[in-house]
Structure 1
Amino acid sequence: MDTEQIVRTFTDYYREHGHRRITGSTLLPDPGDPVLFTSAGMHPLTPYLEGRPHPLGRRLVNVQRCLRTTDLEEVGDSRHLTVFQMLGTWSLGDYEGSRSLDWAHRLLTEGLGVDPGLLHATVYGGGEQVGPDTESLRLWQERGVPVELTVDDNWWSNGPVGPCGPDSEIFLWSGDTPPRSTPTGDDRWVEVWNHVMMRHRRLDDGRLVPLPQRNVDTGLGLERLASLLQGRSSVFECDIFEPWRRTLPSLWPLDEPSFRVVWDHLRSAVVVVGDGIRPSNTGRGYVLRRLVRRLLTVLWREDSSRGVGDLPVELITHTSDHFRQDVDPGLVRGLLVEEERRFRQLLERGRNVLARPRFRGPLGEEDLAYLHDTHGLPRDLVTSLRGEGDPGTDGGGAVRP
């Protein structure tokens, strides 16, 4: 199946089970939400998980685009993306977790053709305030799916306070040998679907109190599932990335890990711009700026003449179409080219300033503050220009919002 077929199969299946499809929102949370970007499908639904009636009812399904900066250190491996699509379902005080897991098992094995012998599940094993999830454990045992009990790995929360609860995760074997070990013991078990029994709210003092209703919130990464169903060893090899893989290697000769970072960050930048964000020194605009700087750093390692102006418009159009965005590809590329120009100027200014005798020795906090406030040189850029990291990173490769 290609990704479009997977989406249709998923949404049609849940519609047949009484779910109404809601329109996936942009990457931008509602006003007042403290997060910079939507990082999970549940973000736009938080008020309804907390008890507000949803206009479409208690059973919902959607496809939500998400952005996660917390996984940036992992981008370049075979599984992680900065911007991705999440297939999601919700029971807002309707059915329980065991029914959700039963439907998921049937969809994977009957609807998507997954060999049942390649599945493994994990279940919450219990903690100080909440006991083990025996309901989910019993369901998996009845289905003949191996189960591993964990504690921290199977408790979901969206922060130190707020809605939370035990979860059951479904893993698919990706190895070229018969399945072995468990998800915590062998990383060839790839997590594909998380079912959160969102029944609690964590208070500031750490106590858990019941939510007004018992919910189920599930999320399944589309690109990761597509790569596994298509027999690919990496998310970057699934059909979504086929135009990128066909076009860019001849344009920019890079090793595979570098290609993955460049593809991911370029694609993510296109989507962020498509949702109306522009580069800046604060907030969401700073995340976009750091993504562009990081991909340029990788692109320039061997050849500083490379630039995003070489990016074919067709790839911008392909990405915008995939994420259902109506945006002028020429505008997107022009914005990226302008951001590249600004970064080149900043690097040149930074090198000239740091060549002054005052800055040749160790730099203190006063020096770093002066360089930032007077010359517009962020701490991480100063560190990188002095040979302690890559420009566009925080020294460890992460993009900091």
Structure 2
Amino acid sequence: MNVDQTVSTFLDFFRERGHQRITGSSLLPPSGDSVLFTTSGMHPLTPYLEGRPHPLGRRLVNLQRCLRTTDLDEVGDRTHLTVFEMLGSWSLGDYDHQQSIQWGYELLRDGFGLRPDRLYVTVFGGDEQVGPDTESLRTWGELGVPVELTGEDNWWSNGPTGPCGPDSEIFVWTGDGPPQGTPTSDQRWVEVWNHVRMRYHRHENGSLEPLPQSGIDTGMGLERLLTILQDKPSIFETDVFQPWMTTIPPLWSTDESSLRVIVDHLRSSIVVIGDGVMPSTTGRGYVLRRLIRRVLTTLWRDDSSRLLSDLPRELIGHTLEHFRQPSEVGQVREVLLDEERRFSTLLRRGRQVLTREGFSGKLRQEDYDYLHQTHGLPRDLVVGLLMDAPPSSGGGVPPIEGHGDRVVLS
């Protein structure tokens, strides 16, 4: 299945079972939410999972774009992305977890054509507060799917407080030959879908209080699912990334890990800008700035003449269209180029300042404070520039290379 067929198969399956599709587009969370970006499909639905009636009813389905900064350092492997899309379904006090599991199994087997003997599930085995999830154990047993019990790995929450509960994580075998081991013992088992029994509210003191209504929250990463349905070794080889992976390598030759970072961060930056965020020194704008500057340091590590102006406008347009964003290609491109100019100017100023007497040895905290307050050079940038200076330079700082990624990730 291609990406459009995969999405329609999921949405149609649940709509045929009485679910209403809700709008799940923007990366920006609802007003009043303390987080910077929407991190999961359930995030905008938190009040309804806690009992507020939803205007579209008690059975919902959607496709939500998400952003997770917690996975930023993992980008470059075969499964992690900064911006991704999440397929989700919900029961707001309607059907139970048994029904959710049965439908999930049916969709994976009949809708997506996954072989049952290549499935494995992990289930919450209990802790000092809540006992084992016997309902899920019994249901999966009736379906003939093997189960592995775990602890906190199968307890889902969206933060230290708020709605939470035990979950069932569904894994698919991606290795060659017959399945081996279990999801916790063999990485060839890849998680594709999470079914959560949203039963409790966790308070600041760690105590659990039953929710007024028990709900179901499921989430399945679209890009990860595509790697399995399209039999690809990584997310970056699915049809979603095909335009990027055929255009960028001839444009900027680099190693595979760096290529994935460049593609992911540029694509994510376009989506963030498309949702109305501008680079800045705080909040959402700072996340965007980090993404763009990591792209630049990765590009310039091999060739300082590379420019974002070389990026074809068609790639920007393709990304905005895929994520259903109305932003103009030219406006998004100008934001990227403006941030490139700002970062280039900052690097030049940083090199000039650090060649002055007094910055050739080990810097003290007051030195970092002075460089930041007087010259606008943040500590991580100074550290990255100093690390790139050869011992014989007497403190002089050449163009950034080698450890350039530290500039924006420290």
For the criterion TM > 0.5, the same-fold answer is yes
- Of the structure 1 ranges 217-226 and 360-369, higher mean CA displacement relative to structure 2 is found in 360-369
- Percent identity over the alignment? 65
Q: Give the equivalent residue in structure 2 for 1:139.
A: 139
Equivalences for residues 13-24 of structure 1 within 5 A? 13-24=13-24
Aligned-residue offset at 1:40: 0.5
Inter-partner Cα distance in structure 2 for 1:215 and 1:287 = 32
Give 3-state SS (helix, strand or coil) of 2:182's partner.
Answer: coil
Aligned-residue offset at 1:25: 3.3
> Quick check: 1:337 aligned with 2:333?
no
Inter-partner Cα distance in structure 2 for 1:346 and 1:132 = 55
> Quick check: 1:371 aligned with 2:371?
yes
Say if 2:385 and 2:407, in contact at 8 Å, map to a contact too.
no
Q: Give the equivalent residue in structure 1 for 2:39.
A: 39
Say if 1:381 and 1:392, in contact at 8 Å, map to a contact too.
no
Say if 2:298 and 2:404, in contact at 8 Å, map to a contact too.
no
Inter-partner Cα distance in structure 1 for 2:288 and 2:98 = 40
Q: Give the equivalent residue in structure 1 for 2:128.
A: 128
Say if 1:78 and 1:236, in contact at 8 Å, map to a contact too.
yes
Inter-partner Cα distance in structure 1 for 2:31 and 2:380 = 30
Inter-partner Cα distance in structure 1 for 2:364 and 2:201 = 43
Q: Give the equivalent residue in structure 2 for 1:294.
A: 294
Q: Give the equivalent residue in structure 2 for 1:262.
A: 262
Give 3-state SS (helix, strand or coil) of 1:85's partner.
Answer: strand
- CA 115–129 in structure 1, closer or farther in 2 if over 3 Å, else same: same
Aligned-residue offset at 1:392: 5.2
Inter-partner Cα distance in structure 2 for 1:8 and 1:180 = 32
Inter-partner Cα distance in structure 2 for 1:321 and 1:274 = 10
Say if 1:380 and 1:391, in contact at 8 Å, map to a contact too.
no
Q: Give the equivalent residue in structure 1 for 2:391.
A: none
- Of the structure 1 ranges 60-69 and 376-385, higher mean CA displacement relative to structure 2 is found in 376-385
Q: Give the equivalent residue in structure 1 for 2:74.
A: 74
Aligned-residue offset at 1:24: 0.8
Letter in 1 for 2:266: L
Aligned-residue offset at 1:394: 5.9
Question: What is the TM-score when the length of structure 2 is the normalising length?
Answer: 0.95
Say if 1:290 and 1:393, in contact at 8 Å, map to a contact too.
no
Give 3-state SS (helix, strand or coil) of 1:53's partner.
Answer: coil
Spell out, residue by residue over 1:167-221, the C-alpha distance to the aligned partner (whole angstroms, 9 max, x if none).
Answer: 1100011111211000110111111001111111111111111111101111000
Aligned-residue offset at 1:12: 0.4
Q: Give the equivalent residue in structure 2 for 1:235.
A: 235
Q: Which runs of 4+ in 1 moved over 4 A?
A: none
Say if 2:120 and 2:147, in contact at 8 Å, map to a contact too.
yes
Letter in 1 for 2:273: V
Q: Give the equivalent residue in structure 1 for 2:106.
A: 106
Q: Give the equivalent residue in structure 1 for 2:169.
A: 169
- CA 266–113 in structure 1, closer or farther in 2 if over 3 Å, else same: same
Spell out, residue by residue over 1:220-274, the C-alpha distance to the aligned partner (whole angstroms, 9 max, x if none).
Answer: 0001101110000000000001111111111111111110000000000000000
Q: Give the equivalent residue in structure 2 for 1:245.
A: 245
Give 3-state SS (helix, strand or coil) of 2:213's partner.
Answer: coil
Q: Give the equivalent residue in structure 2 for 1:55.
A: 55
Q: Give the equivalent residue in structure 1 for 2:326.
A: 326
Give 3-state SS (helix, strand or coil) of 1:288's partner.
Answer: helix
Inter-partner Cα distance in structure 2 for 1:253 and 1:296 = 14
Aligned-residue offset at 1:390: 3.6
Inter-partner Cα distance in structure 2 for 1:178 and 1:257 = 29
Q: Give the equivalent residue in structure 2 for 1:90.
A: 90
Say if 2:297 and 2:405, in contact at 8 Å, map to a contact too.
yes
Letter in 1 for 2:44: P
Inter-partner Cα distance in structure 1 for 2:14 and 2:271 = 27
- Of the structure 1 ranges 350-359 and 237-246, higher mean CA displacement relative to structure 2 is found in 350-359
* Aligned length, in residue pairs: 397
Say if 1:293 and 1:391, in contact at 8 Å, map to a contact too.
no
Give 3-state SS (helix, strand or coil) of 1:204's partner.
Answer: coil
Say if 1:120 and 1:183, in contact at 8 Å, map to a contact too.
yes
Say if 1:381 and 1:391, in contact at 8 Å, map to a contact too.
no
Question: What is the TM-score when the length of structure 1 is the normalising length?
Answer: 0.97
Inter-partner Cα distance in structure 1 for 2:365 and 2:96 = 54
Give 3-state SS (helix, strand or coil) of 1:110's partner.
Answer: helix
Inter-partner Cα distance in structure 1 for 2:132 and 2:169 = 14
Inter-partner Cα distance in structure 2 for 1:394 and 1:155 = 36
Aligned-residue offset at 1:285: 0.5
> Quick check: 1:349 aligned with 2:344?
no
Inter-partner Cα distance in structure 1 for 2:161 and 2:130 = 16
Q: Give the equivalent residue in structure 1 for 2:393.
A: none
Inter-partner Cα distance in structure 1 for 2:407 and 2:136 = 41
Aligned-residue offset at 1:301: 1.1
Q: Give the equivalent residue in structure 2 for 1:280.
A: 280
Give 3-state SS (helix, strand or coil) of 2:195's partner.
Answer: strand
Letter in 1 for 2:249: P
Letter in 1 for 2:127: G
Inter-partner Cα distance in structure 2 for 1:99 and 1:393 = 48
Inter-partner Cα distance in structure 1 for 2:151 and 2:102 = 22
Inter-partner Cα distance in structure 2 for 1:302 and 1:391 = 10
Aligned-residue offset at 1:391: 3.9
Inter-partner Cα distance in structure 2 for 1:35 and 1:88 = 20
Q: Give the equivalent residue in structure 2 for 1:178.
A: 178
Q: Give the equivalent residue in structure 1 for 2:395.
A: none
Give 3-state SS (helix, strand or coil) of 1:24's partner.
Answer: coil
Inter-partner Cα distance in structure 1 for 2:69 and 2:243 = 25
- CA 63–110 in structure 1, closer or farther in 2 if over 3 Å, else same: same
Spell out, residue by residue over 1:354-378, the C-alpha distance to the aligned partner (whole angstroms, 9 max, x if none).
Answer: 1112222222221111111111111
Q: Give the equivalent residue in structure 2 for 1:382.
A: 382
Inter-partner Cα distance in structure 2 for 1:364 and 1:92 = 55
Inter-partner Cα distance in structure 2 for 1:57 and 1:257 = 44
Give 3-state SS (helix, strand or coil) of 2:84's partner.
Answer: strand
Spell out, residue by residue over 1:307-363, the C-alpha distance to the aligned partner (whole angstroms, 9 max, x if none).
Answer: 111111111111111100011111111110111111111011111111112222222
